[in-house]
Structure 1
Amino acid sequence: MKHYTYDEWLSYVKNEVSFKTREELESHLYTCDQCLEHYLQAVTEHESSLPVLSNENSFTDLVMAGVSKQKEFIEKPSVIKQPVKVKKAFYQQAAFHYIIAAAATLLLTFSGVFQSLATYASAVEATQHLKEKKPSVTEGVIDKTFAWMDSLEKKEANKK
């Protein structure tokens, strides 16, 4: 991986690099922590010479408006931007998927699949409940305590 020098990042911050170099530097920032550190140092050093926002409150709104405009147009160098109109195939639209899901649900409901699944599930649950007839921990402790007390009573009775 190629790392960029502090001077290159300083030129980037001062906006003294070509468009191609700017794109390379920006994409490199996503993958390199070392270069990100150099970039942040360059920004900190040149912070006083960077432009000041005149209206900070509406800045976010302006940026978001610009982003939404970018989504609407194709990015072509030296060509007027054209609106993008992409038509999806019928099977790629959400309405098609909803119709298929509704049809499958109705088919399974009227054919009795859901009813048989519910019956099967309750039967399985009932058999498992019968198999798992284990006493609770409290019942076990109580049973052992009474057995111990009974054995003590028998010992006392045998001593007399």
Structure 2
Amino acid sequence: MKHYSYEEWQLYVKDELSEDRRDELESHLYTCNQCLEVYIRAVTANETSLPAFLEDDDFTNRVMEMVPFTNKNVNNVEIVSPVPVTDSTFKDVEMVNSVPGTQSDTARKPLYQQAGFHYLLAAAATLLLMFSGAFQSLATYAGSLEKPMIQEKKPRPSVTEGVINKTFAWMDSLEKKEAIKK
């Protein structure tokens, strides 16, 4: 693997290379940790020549001025504004105290629409079914379904096996007859 010199990385940091050469060095950075360390040294050495950010607030304000104006949605009211809408735009607007999903909003709901009521109802139904034996009967029924409904048929014996079985049965009957005569 070919490694690049410190001077080449300094040229890269100062943006003094051709586009093809820059692409070559960038793709090499993805695969070579050694050159990455040299590149980091070149960046720290040229740190003073890099552009510095102005104050954070000033930078943010400049960026926000470049953002196109869009429709803002405040308190479920769509605002179409030809001027930028900022935090100070609504400083004199009285905000509504109720936000959907807060405690004051759920206090207004009827009891049967609250989540706690549904949990209690489910727990009560579970206890009722458990103590009444409904779950036990379901378990018994499920156990009976596991048994095979159709019994497997034994394969039919071949003709040879049938002849042999009849021969042995005939011989057994002859032995019984002779045992009775004696």
Q: Given the two structures, how large is their TM-score scaled by the length of structure 1?
A: 0.36
TM-score normalised by the chain length of structure 2: 0.33
Q: Which has the higher contact order (CA 8 A, sep 6+)?
A: 1
Greater helix content:
1
